[in-house]
Chain A
Protein backbone atom coordinates (compact mmCIF):
# COMPACT_ATOMS: atom_id res chain seq x y z
CA UNK A 1 0.00 0.00 0.00
CA UNK A 2 2.83 2.36 0.90
CA UNK A 3 4.46 1.92 -2.50
CA UNK A 4 1.16 2.35 -4.31
CA UNK A 5 0.50 5.59 -2.50
CA UNK A 6 4.05 6.92 -3.05
CA UNK A 7 3.86 6.30 -6.79
CA UNK A 8 0.30 7.63 -7.04
CA UNK A 9 1.34 10.82 -5.24
CA UNK A 10 4.32 11.27 -7.55
CA UNK A 11 2.15 10.81 -10.62
CA UNK A 12 -0.49 13.21 -9.34
CA UNK A 13 2.15 15.82 -8.67
CA UNK A 14 3.46 15.30 -12.20
CA UNK A 15 0.04 16.24 -13.60
CA UNK A 16 0.07 19.51 -11.70
CA UNK A 17 3.72 20.26 -12.55
CA UNK A 18 2.69 21.01 -16.12
CA UNK A 19 -0.19 23.11 -17.51
CA UNK A 20 -1.86 19.82 -18.53
CA UNK A 21 -3.80 19.53 -15.29
CA UNK A 22 -5.22 23.04 -15.42
CA UNK A 23 -6.04 22.90 -19.12
CA UNK A 24 -7.75 19.58 -18.64
CA UNK A 25 -9.86 20.76 -15.73
CA UNK A 26 -10.87 24.02 -17.43
CA UNK A 27 -11.83 22.27 -20.69
CA UNK A 28 -13.67 19.56 -18.77
CA UNK A 29 -15.72 22.13 -16.89
CA UNK A 30 -16.46 24.27 -19.97
CA UNK A 31 -17.50 21.24 -22.02
CA UNK A 32 -19.63 19.87 -19.20
CA UNK A 33 -21.32 23.28 -18.92
CA UNK A 34 -21.96 23.65 -22.67
CA UNK A 35 -23.37 20.14 -22.98
CA UNK A 36 -25.59 20.55 -19.93
CA UNK A 37 -26.99 24.00 -20.68
CA UNK A 38 -27.13 24.20 -24.47
CA UNK A 39 -27.34 20.62 -25.69
CA UNK A 40 -29.13 19.16 -22.69
CA UNK A 41 -31.41 22.18 -22.21
CA UNK A 42 -31.09 21.84 -18.46
CA UNK A 43 -32.73 25.15 -17.47
CA UNK A 44 -35.58 24.88 -19.97
CA UNK A 45 -36.62 21.49 -18.65
CA UNK A 46 -37.96 23.01 -15.47
CA UNK A 47 -36.93 19.97 -13.43
CA UNK A 48 -34.74 20.04 -10.35
CA UNK A 49 -32.29 17.30 -11.24
CA UNK A 50 -28.91 16.87 -12.97
CA UNK A 51 -29.87 14.23 -15.50
CA UNK A 52 -28.97 16.32 -18.60
CA UNK A 53 -25.56 16.87 -17.00
CA UNK A 54 -24.80 13.21 -16.36
CA UNK A 55 -26.21 11.99 -19.69
CA UNK A 56 -23.30 13.54 -21.57
CA UNK A 57 -20.53 12.17 -19.35
CA UNK A 58 -19.69 9.18 -21.58
CA UNK A 59 -19.07 11.60 -24.48
CA UNK A 60 -17.02 13.90 -22.32
CA UNK A 61 -14.85 11.04 -21.08
CA UNK A 62 -14.51 9.67 -24.59
CA UNK A 63 -12.23 12.57 -25.54
CA UNK A 64 -10.82 13.76 -22.25
CA UNK A 65 -9.85 10.48 -20.59
CA UNK A 66 -7.49 9.46 -23.45
CA UNK A 67 -5.76 12.84 -23.05
CA UNK A 68 -4.87 11.84 -19.50
CA UNK A 69 -4.24 8.14 -20.00
CA UNK A 70 -2.03 8.48 -23.09
CA UNK A 71 1.04 9.56 -21.13
CA UNK A 72 0.76 7.01 -18.30
CA UNK A 73 3.10 4.39 -19.78
CA UNK A 74 4.01 5.81 -23.19
CA UNK A 75 5.90 8.65 -21.52
CA UNK A 76 7.85 6.28 -19.23
CA UNK A 77 8.85 4.21 -22.22
CA UNK A 78 9.84 7.19 -24.35
CA UNK A 79 12.04 8.80 -21.69
CA UNK A 80 13.43 5.46 -20.51
CA UNK A 81 12.34 6.06 -16.93
CA UNK A 82 10.40 2.78 -17.13
CA UNK A 83 13.74 1.03 -16.59
CA UNK A 84 14.36 3.02 -13.45
CA UNK A 85 10.76 2.64 -12.28
CA UNK A 86 10.61 -1.14 -12.72
CA UNK A 87 13.99 -1.77 -11.08
CA UNK A 88 12.83 -0.09 -7.88
CA UNK A 89 11.64 -2.56 -5.23
CA UNK A 90 7.99 -2.43 -6.25
CA UNK A 91 5.83 -5.12 -7.81
CA UNK A 92 4.25 -4.89 -11.24
CA UNK A 93 0.79 -4.90 -9.65
CA UNK A 94 1.72 -1.97 -7.42
CA UNK A 95 3.13 -0.08 -10.39
CA UNK A 96 0.07 -0.62 -12.60
CA UNK A 97 -2.47 0.10 -9.87
CA UNK A 98 -0.62 3.20 -8.67
CA UNK A 99 -0.46 4.79 -12.10
CA UNK A 100 -4.11 4.02 -12.79
CA UNK A 101 -5.15 5.40 -9.41
CA UNK A 102 -3.34 8.69 -10.00
CA UNK A 103 -5.11 9.27 -13.31
CA UNK A 104 -8.44 8.16 -11.86
CA UNK A 105 -8.14 10.40 -8.81
CA UNK A 106 -7.29 13.27 -11.10
CA UNK A 107 -10.45 12.67 -13.17
CA UNK A 108 -12.48 12.48 -9.99
CA UNK A 109 -11.09 15.86 -8.91
CA UNK A 110 -12.23 17.35 -12.23
CA UNK A 111 -15.63 15.72 -11.78
CA UNK A 112 -15.94 17.02 -8.22
CA UNK A 113 -15.24 20.55 -9.46
CA UNK A 114 -18.59 20.51 -11.28
CA UNK A 115 -20.17 21.06 -7.84
CA UNK A 116 -21.48 24.56 -8.75
CA UNK A 117 -24.11 22.79 -10.85
CA UNK A 118 -25.19 20.90 -7.78
CA UNK A 119 -25.26 24.11 -5.76
CA UNK A 120 -27.32 25.79 -8.49
CA UNK A 121 -29.90 23.04 -8.69
CA UNK A 122 -30.30 23.11 -4.92
CA UNK A 123 -30.74 26.88 -5.03
CA UNK A 124 -33.36 26.69 -7.77
CA UNK A 125 -35.37 23.77 -6.49
CA UNK A 126 -35.48 20.73 -4.25
CA UNK A 127 -33.66 17.93 -6.05
CA UNK A 128 -33.16 14.43 -4.66
CA UNK A 129 -29.55 14.74 -3.51
CA UNK A 130 -29.27 11.00 -2.98
CA UNK A 131 -29.94 10.52 -6.68
CA UNK A 132 -27.31 13.14 -7.56
CA UNK A 133 -24.71 11.55 -5.29
CA UNK A 134 -25.41 8.11 -6.81
CA UNK A 135 -24.96 9.57 -10.29
CA UNK A 136 -21.65 11.15 -9.30
CA UNK A 137 -20.38 7.86 -7.88
CA UNK A 138 -21.53 5.99 -10.98
CA UNK A 139 -19.94 8.53 -13.28
CA UNK A 140 -16.63 8.26 -11.42
CA UNK A 141 -16.82 4.48 -11.74
CA UNK A 142 -17.38 4.74 -15.48
CA UNK A 143 -14.47 7.19 -15.76
CA UNK A 144 -12.35 4.52 -14.04
CA UNK A 145 -13.32 1.98 -16.69
CA UNK A 146 -12.43 4.44 -19.48
CA UNK A 147 -9.15 5.22 -17.74
CA UNK A 148 -8.16 1.57 -17.26
CA UNK A 149 -8.68 0.86 -20.97
CA UNK A 150 -6.63 3.97 -21.77
CA UNK A 151 -3.80 2.95 -19.42
CA UNK A 152 -3.69 -0.48 -21.06
CA UNK A 153 -3.36 1.02 -24.55
CA UNK A 154 -0.76 3.53 -23.34
CA UNK A 155 1.41 0.59 -22.25
CA UNK A 156 1.51 -0.70 -25.82
CA UNK A 157 3.26 2.28 -27.42
CA UNK A 158 5.97 4.87 -26.90
CA UNK A 159 4.00 7.40 -28.88
CA UNK A 160 1.44 9.42 -26.95
CA UNK A 161 -0.43 10.53 -30.06
CA UNK A 162 -0.94 6.93 -31.14
CA UNK A 163 -2.06 6.09 -27.62
CA UNK A 164 -4.59 8.93 -27.74
CA UNK A 165 -6.07 8.06 -31.13
CA UNK A 166 -6.29 4.32 -30.52
CA UNK A 167 -7.77 4.83 -27.06
CA UNK A 168 -10.44 7.17 -28.38
CA UNK A 169 -11.35 4.71 -31.16
CA UNK A 170 -11.55 1.74 -28.78
CA UNK A 171 -13.55 3.67 -26.22
CA UNK A 172 -15.91 4.88 -28.96
CA UNK A 173 -16.72 1.28 -29.87
CA UNK A 174 -17.18 0.37 -26.19
CA UNK A 175 -19.40 3.37 -25.61
CA UNK A 176 -21.68 2.70 -28.55
CA UNK A 177 -21.73 -1.10 -28.34
CA UNK A 178 -25.08 -1.02 -26.55
CA UNK A 179 -26.74 1.68 -28.63
CA UNK A 180 -29.15 1.13 -31.47
CA UNK A 181 -26.63 2.56 -33.92
CA UNK A 182 -24.56 -0.57 -33.50
CA UNK A 183 -27.29 -3.02 -32.53
CA UNK A 184 -29.60 -2.27 -35.48
CA UNK A 185 -26.66 -2.76 -37.76
CA UNK A 186 -25.78 -6.22 -36.49
CA UNK A 187 -29.29 -7.39 -35.62
CA UNK A 188 -29.91 -8.40 -39.23
CA UNK A 189 -26.86 -10.65 -39.33
CA UNK A 190 -26.43 -12.30 -35.96
CA UNK A 191 -28.69 -14.23 -33.58
CA UNK A 192 -30.30 -12.32 -30.75
CA UNK A 193 -28.03 -13.84 -28.10
CA UNK A 194 -25.00 -12.28 -29.80
CA UNK A 195 -26.86 -8.99 -30.00
CA UNK A 196 -27.45 -9.22 -26.27
CA UNK A 197 -23.79 -9.95 -25.58
CA UNK A 198 -22.65 -6.98 -27.66
CA UNK A 199 -25.26 -4.82 -25.96
CA UNK A 200 -23.93 -6.01 -22.63
CA UNK A 201 -20.58 -4.41 -23.38
CA UNK A 202 -21.98 -0.99 -24.04
CA UNK A 203 -20.76 1.62 -21.60
CA UNK A 204 -23.73 3.76 -22.56
CA UNK A 205 -26.23 1.01 -21.71
CA UNK A 206 -24.65 0.50 -18.32
CA UNK A 207 -24.57 4.21 -17.67
CA UNK A 208 -28.20 4.93 -18.56
CA UNK A 209 -29.68 4.00 -15.21
CA UNK A 210 -26.70 5.52 -13.39
CA UNK A 211 -27.43 8.87 -15.06
CA UNK A 212 -30.94 8.64 -13.61
CA UNK A 213 -29.42 8.06 -10.17
CA UNK A 214 -29.94 4.32 -9.91
CA UNK A 215 -26.78 2.33 -9.27
CA UNK A 216 -27.63 -1.21 -10.27
CA UNK A 217 -25.20 -3.70 -8.77
CA UNK A 218 -24.78 -5.28 -12.21
CA UNK A 219 -23.65 -1.98 -13.72
CA UNK A 220 -21.20 -1.42 -10.87
CA UNK A 221 -19.83 -4.95 -11.33
CA UNK A 222 -19.53 -4.36 -15.07
CA UNK A 223 -17.41 -1.23 -14.70
CA UNK A 224 -15.41 -2.83 -11.88
CA UNK A 225 -14.69 -5.86 -14.07
CA UNK A 226 -13.59 -3.67 -16.98
CA UNK A 227 -11.13 -1.92 -14.64
CA UNK A 228 -9.71 -5.18 -13.26
CA UNK A 229 -9.42 -6.88 -16.66
CA UNK A 230 -7.90 -3.85 -18.39
CA UNK A 231 -5.32 -3.43 -15.60
CA UNK A 232 -4.40 -7.12 -15.72
CA UNK A 233 -3.87 -6.76 -19.47
CA UNK A 234 -1.94 -3.55 -18.77
CA UNK A 235 0.53 -5.44 -16.55
CA UNK A 236 0.97 -8.15 -19.19
CA UNK A 237 1.58 -5.62 -21.95
CA UNK A 238 4.14 -3.69 -19.88
CA UNK A 239 5.94 -6.98 -19.18
CA UNK A 240 5.94 -8.02 -22.85
CA UNK A 241 6.86 -4.67 -24.39
CA UNK A 242 9.46 -3.35 -21.97
CA UNK A 243 12.32 -4.95 -23.84
CA UNK A 244 11.68 -2.82 -26.90
Chain B
Protein backbone atom coordinates (compact mmCIF):
# COMPACT_ATOMS: atom_id res chain seq x y z
CA UNK B 1 0.00 0.00 0.00
CA UNK B 2 1.12 3.53 -0.77
CA UNK B 3 2.43 5.02 2.45
CA UNK B 4 0.85 8.37 1.60
CA UNK B 5 -2.68 6.98 1.41
CA UNK B 6 -4.58 8.73 4.18
CA UNK B 7 -6.19 6.44 6.72
CA UNK B 8 -9.89 5.76 6.19
CA UNK B 9 -10.56 6.64 9.77
CA UNK B 10 -8.53 8.97 11.91
CA UNK B 11 -9.58 9.51 15.52
CA UNK B 12 -7.82 12.55 16.92
CA UNK B 13 -7.75 13.07 20.66
CA UNK B 14 -11.42 12.49 21.37
CA UNK B 15 -12.58 13.57 24.81
CA UNK B 16 -16.06 13.23 26.27
CA UNK B 17 -17.16 14.13 29.77
CA UNK B 18 -20.55 13.55 31.30
CA UNK B 19 -22.31 14.92 34.33
CA UNK B 20 -22.53 18.29 36.08
CA UNK B 21 -19.53 20.62 36.04
CA UNK B 22 -18.52 19.89 39.64
CA UNK B 23 -18.75 16.11 39.38
CA UNK B 24 -17.73 15.34 35.82
CA UNK B 25 -16.84 11.87 34.72
CA UNK B 26 -14.50 11.46 31.81
CA UNK B 27 -15.91 8.72 29.59
CA UNK B 28 -13.39 9.10 26.79
CA UNK B 29 -10.01 10.57 27.61
CA UNK B 30 -7.98 11.69 24.60
CA UNK B 31 -8.48 8.63 22.46
CA UNK B 32 -6.47 8.63 19.23
CA UNK B 33 -5.87 5.99 16.57
CA UNK B 34 -5.91 5.47 12.82
CA UNK B 35 -7.46 2.74 10.76
CA UNK B 36 -6.64 1.78 7.17
CA UNK B 37 -8.65 0.07 4.49
CA UNK B 38 -8.74 -3.67 4.99
CA UNK B 39 -8.35 -3.48 8.75
CA UNK B 40 -10.93 -4.89 11.15
CA UNK B 41 -10.46 -3.33 14.55
CA UNK B 42 -11.86 -5.08 17.59
CA UNK B 43 -12.77 -2.58 20.26
CA UNK B 44 -12.53 -4.31 23.63
CA UNK B 45 -13.01 -3.11 27.15
CA UNK B 46 -15.07 -3.48 30.29
CA UNK B 47 -18.56 -2.00 30.46
CA UNK B 48 -18.38 1.77 30.74
CA UNK B 49 -14.87 1.91 29.23
CA UNK B 50 -16.02 4.40 26.60
CA UNK B 51 -16.38 2.12 23.57
CA UNK B 52 -19.92 3.13 22.66
CA UNK B 53 -19.31 6.78 23.48
CA UNK B 54 -16.31 6.81 21.12
CA UNK B 55 -18.37 5.22 18.37
CA UNK B 56 -21.17 7.74 18.89
CA UNK B 57 -18.69 10.58 18.49
CA UNK B 58 -17.16 9.14 15.31
CA UNK B 59 -20.63 8.81 13.80
CA UNK B 60 -21.60 12.37 14.66
CA UNK B 61 -24.27 11.51 17.22
CA UNK B 62 -22.46 12.99 20.22
CA UNK B 63 -20.34 16.14 20.05
CA UNK B 64 -16.88 15.58 21.57
CA UNK B 65 -15.62 17.96 24.28
CA UNK B 66 -12.25 17.95 22.53
CA UNK B 67 -10.68 16.35 19.47
CA UNK B 68 -12.40 15.13 16.35
CA UNK B 69 -12.70 12.21 13.96
CA UNK B 70 -11.85 12.37 10.27
CA UNK B 71 -13.55 9.75 8.12
CA UNK B 72 -12.43 9.39 4.49
CA UNK B 73 -11.19 12.98 4.59
CA UNK B 74 -14.36 14.40 6.15
CA UNK B 75 -14.10 15.98 9.58
CA UNK B 76 -17.20 15.01 11.53
CA UNK B 77 -17.30 18.40 13.26
CA UNK B 78 -16.82 20.43 10.06
CA UNK B 79 -19.00 18.45 7.67
CA UNK B 80 -21.20 16.02 9.61
CA UNK B 81 -23.46 15.23 6.64
CA UNK B 82 -20.57 14.17 4.37
CA UNK B 83 -19.12 12.12 7.23
CA UNK B 84 -22.42 10.35 7.84
CA UNK B 85 -22.67 9.36 4.16
CA UNK B 86 -19.38 7.40 4.26
CA UNK B 87 -20.17 5.57 7.50
CA UNK B 88 -22.42 2.61 8.10
CA UNK B 89 -23.34 2.58 11.75
CA UNK B 90 -24.98 -0.10 13.85
CA UNK B 91 -25.87 1.54 17.17
CA UNK B 92 -25.84 -0.48 20.37
CA UNK B 93 -28.96 -2.64 20.63
CA UNK B 94 -29.63 -2.31 16.87
CA UNK B 95 -32.55 0.12 17.18
CA UNK B 96 -35.11 0.19 14.34
CA UNK B 97 -38.63 1.56 14.03
CA UNK B 98 -40.73 -1.22 15.60
CA UNK B 99 -43.91 -0.60 13.59
CA UNK B 100 -42.17 -0.95 10.22
CA UNK B 101 -41.37 -4.11 8.29
CA UNK B 102 -37.71 -4.73 7.36
CA UNK B 103 -38.59 -3.96 3.73
CA UNK B 104 -40.26 -0.64 4.56
CA UNK B 105 -37.53 0.27 7.04
CA UNK B 106 -34.67 -0.47 4.65
CA UNK B 107 -36.52 1.31 1.86
CA UNK B 108 -36.76 4.40 4.07
CA UNK B 109 -33.05 4.23 4.95
CA UNK B 110 -32.15 3.78 1.26
CA UNK B 111 -34.31 6.77 0.31
CA UNK B 112 -32.69 9.00 2.92
CA UNK B 113 -29.30 7.74 1.70
CA UNK B 114 -30.23 9.12 -1.73
CA UNK B 115 -31.15 6.01 -3.70
CA UNK B 116 -34.15 6.03 -6.00
CA UNK B 117 -36.26 3.74 -8.14
CA UNK B 118 -34.69 0.48 -9.30
CA UNK B 119 -31.40 1.32 -7.67
CA UNK B 120 -33.13 1.60 -4.30
CA UNK B 121 -34.92 -1.73 -4.77
CA UNK B 122 -31.63 -3.39 -5.69
CA UNK B 123 -29.87 -1.95 -2.64
CA UNK B 124 -32.62 -3.12 -0.30
CA UNK B 125 -32.74 -6.58 -1.89
CA UNK B 126 -28.95 -6.86 -1.76
CA UNK B 127 -28.76 -5.84 1.91
CA UNK B 128 -31.54 -8.27 2.79
CA UNK B 129 -29.81 -11.08 0.93
CA UNK B 130 -26.49 -10.43 2.66
CA UNK B 131 -28.11 -10.51 6.09
CA UNK B 132 -30.63 -13.27 5.20
CA UNK B 133 -33.72 -11.28 6.04
CA UNK B 134 -35.94 -12.46 3.19
CA UNK B 135 -38.11 -14.76 5.28
CA UNK B 136 -39.17 -11.93 7.63
CA UNK B 137 -39.25 -9.20 4.97
CA UNK B 138 -42.90 -8.30 5.59
CA UNK B 139 -43.19 -8.83 9.33
CA UNK B 140 -43.22 -5.81 11.66
CA UNK B 141 -39.79 -5.42 13.26
CA UNK B 142 -41.27 -5.46 16.79
CA UNK B 143 -42.41 -9.06 16.23
CA UNK B 144 -38.95 -10.28 15.18
CA UNK B 145 -36.52 -12.26 17.31
CA UNK B 146 -33.42 -10.59 18.69
CA UNK B 147 -31.27 -12.19 16.01
CA UNK B 148 -33.39 -10.87 13.17
CA UNK B 149 -33.54 -7.41 14.74
CA UNK B 150 -29.76 -7.36 14.89
CA UNK B 151 -29.60 -8.37 11.24
CA UNK B 152 -32.04 -5.58 10.30
CA UNK B 153 -29.61 -3.18 11.99
CA UNK B 154 -26.71 -4.69 10.08
CA UNK B 155 -28.58 -4.52 6.78
CA UNK B 156 -29.28 -0.84 7.43
CA UNK B 157 -25.57 -0.20 8.05
CA UNK B 158 -24.41 -2.07 4.92
CA UNK B 159 -27.05 -0.82 2.52
CA UNK B 160 -25.12 2.08 1.00
CA UNK B 161 -21.88 0.08 0.78
CA UNK B 162 -19.96 2.54 2.99
CA UNK B 163 -16.15 2.50 3.11
CA UNK B 164 -16.22 2.65 6.92
CA UNK B 165 -18.36 0.47 9.16
CA UNK B 166 -18.85 1.15 12.85
CA UNK B 167 -20.62 -1.79 14.48
CA UNK B 168 -21.47 -1.63 18.18
CA UNK B 169 -21.78 -5.22 19.44
CA UNK B 170 -22.91 -6.73 16.13
CA UNK B 171 -23.22 -10.27 17.49
CA UNK B 172 -24.71 -9.52 20.91
CA UNK B 173 -27.71 -11.76 21.56
CA UNK B 174 -27.21 -13.99 18.53
CA UNK B 175 -27.11 -17.76 18.69
CA UNK B 176 -23.90 -19.53 17.61
CA UNK B 177 -25.12 -20.08 14.06
CA UNK B 178 -26.09 -16.46 13.66
CA UNK B 179 -22.79 -15.32 15.16
CA UNK B 180 -20.99 -17.45 12.62
CA UNK B 181 -22.99 -15.89 9.79
CA UNK B 182 -22.36 -12.33 10.94
CA UNK B 183 -18.64 -12.99 11.38
CA UNK B 184 -18.44 -14.48 7.93
CA UNK B 185 -20.21 -11.44 6.53
CA UNK B 186 -17.71 -9.14 8.26
CA UNK B 187 -14.75 -11.21 7.00
CA UNK B 188 -16.12 -11.13 3.46
CA UNK B 189 -16.37 -7.35 3.49
CA UNK B 190 -13.11 -6.76 5.31
CA UNK B 191 -10.69 -6.36 2.36
CA UNK B 192 -12.75 -3.51 0.89
CA UNK B 193 -13.56 -1.61 4.06
CA UNK B 194 -12.37 -0.30 7.37
CA UNK B 195 -14.40 -1.86 10.14
CA UNK B 196 -14.59 -1.13 13.84
CA UNK B 197 -16.52 -3.61 15.95
CA UNK B 198 -17.00 -3.41 19.68
CA UNK B 199 -17.45 -6.64 21.54
CA UNK B 200 -17.29 -8.34 24.91
CA UNK B 201 -16.59 -11.67 23.31
CA UNK B 202 -12.86 -12.20 23.13
CA UNK B 203 -13.11 -15.21 20.80
CA UNK B 204 -14.63 -12.82 18.27
CA UNK B 205 -11.33 -11.00 18.07
CA UNK B 206 -9.61 -14.14 16.82
CA UNK B 207 -12.50 -14.88 14.50
CA UNK B 208 -12.67 -11.60 12.60
CA UNK B 209 -10.24 -8.92 13.77
CA UNK B 210 -6.89 -8.06 12.22
CA UNK B 211 -6.22 -5.70 15.10
CA UNK B 212 -7.44 -5.42 18.66
CA UNK B 213 -7.56 -2.50 21.02
CA UNK B 214 -8.35 -2.71 24.71
CA UNK B 215 -9.85 0.39 26.27
CA UNK B 216 -10.24 1.13 29.97
CA UNK B 217 -11.53 4.36 31.49
CA UNK B 218 -11.52 6.07 28.13
CA UNK B 219 -7.88 5.33 27.34
CA UNK B 220 -6.16 2.82 25.10
CA UNK B 221 -4.33 0.31 27.28
CA UNK B 222 -3.37 -2.18 24.59
CA UNK B 223 -3.23 -2.05 20.79
CA UNK B 224 -1.91 -4.63 18.38
CA UNK B 225 -2.70 -7.75 16.38
CA UNK B 226 -4.55 -10.42 18.33
CA UNK B 227 -1.29 -12.38 18.35
CA UNK B 228 0.72 -9.52 19.80
CA UNK B 229 -1.86 -8.99 22.50
CA UNK B 230 -1.89 -12.63 23.40
CA UNK B 231 1.89 -12.63 23.73
CA UNK B 232 1.55 -10.23 26.65
CA UNK B 233 0.32 -12.98 28.95
CA UNK B 234 2.33 -16.00 29.92
CA UNK B 235 -0.73 -18.15 29.30
CA UNK B 236 -1.19 -16.83 25.75
CA UNK B 237 -4.81 -16.32 26.69
CA UNK B 238 -6.68 -13.16 25.64
CA UNK B 239 -8.88 -13.29 28.74
CA UNK B 240 -5.81 -13.05 30.93
CA UNK B 241 -4.41 -10.15 28.93
CA UNK B 242 -7.76 -8.41 29.15
CA UNK B 243 -7.98 -8.82 32.92
CA UNK B 244 -4.39 -7.77 33.42
CA UNK B 245 -4.49 -4.53 31.42
CA UNK B 246 -7.93 -3.42 32.55
CA UNK B 247 -7.45 -4.22 36.24
CA UNK B 248 -4.70 -1.69 36.94
CA UNK B 249 -5.91 0.99 34.49
What is the interface of chain A, defined by CB distance below 8 A to chain B? 3, 6-7, 10, 13-14, 17-18, 79-81, 83-84, 86-91, 239, 242-243
Contact = CB atoms under 8 A, between A and B. Distances in A.
B231 interface: no
B246 interface: no
Interface string B59-91: 111110000000000000000011011010101
B112 A84 contact: no
A87 B98 contact: no
Given A84-B156, A88-B113, A242 B62 contact: yes
B73 to A, nearest CB: 16
B167 to A, nearest CB: 13
Contact of A89 (B18, B96, B108, B113): B113
A123 B96 CA distance: 49
Given A88-B112, A88-B113, A83 B98 contact: no
25 contacts: A6-B108, A10-B97, A10-B108, A13-B104, A14-B100, A17-B99, A79-B95, A79-B97, A80-B93, A80-B95, A83-B61, A84-B91, A84-B95, A84-B96, A87-B59, A87-B61, A88-B84, A88-B109, A89-B81, A89-B112, A89-B113, A90-B81, A91-B81, A242-B62, A243-B18
Which DSSP category, helix, strand, loop or mixed, fits chain A's interface? helix
Nearest to B58: A87
Contacts of B111: 6
B53 to A, nearest CB: 9
Contacts of B97: 10, 14, 79, 81
A84 B149 CA distance: 14
Contact of A18 (B18, B99, B153, B156): B99
Interface residues of B, number: 31
A87 B87 contact: yes
B56 interface: yes
Contacts of A18: 99
Nearest to B62: A243
B56 A83 contact: yes
A243 B17 CA distance: 11
Interface of B: 18, 56, 59-63, 81-82, 84-85, 87, 89, 91-93, 95-100, 104, 108-109, 111-114, 153, 156
Nearest to A15: B99
Contacts of A89: 81-82, 84-85, 112-114
Contacts of A86: 60-61
Contacts of B113: 88-89
Given A14-B99, A83-B95, A87-B91, A3 B112 contact: yes
A87 B89 contact: yes
A6 B112 contact: yes
A242 B61 contact: yes
A84 B85 CA distance: 13
Most chain A beta carbons < 10 A, residue from B18, B56, B85, B92: B56
B155 to A, nearest CB: 12
Interface centre among A87, A89, A91 (most CB of B within 10 A): A87
Contacts of B156: 84
Listed residue (A3, A83, A90) with the most chain B CB atoms within 10 angstroms of its CB: A83
A83 B113 CA distance: 16
A239 B80 CA distance: 14
B62 to A, nearest CB: 6
Contacts of A243: 18, 62
Instruction: Choose among A6, A18, A84, A91 the residue with the greatest number of B CB atoms under 10 Å from its CB.
Output: A84
A91 B113 CA distance: 13
Contacts of A79: 95, 97-98
A90 B56 contact: no
A239 B96 CA distance: 20
Nearest to A16: B99
Contacts of B92: 80, 83
Contacts of B104: 13
A90 B85 CA distance: 10
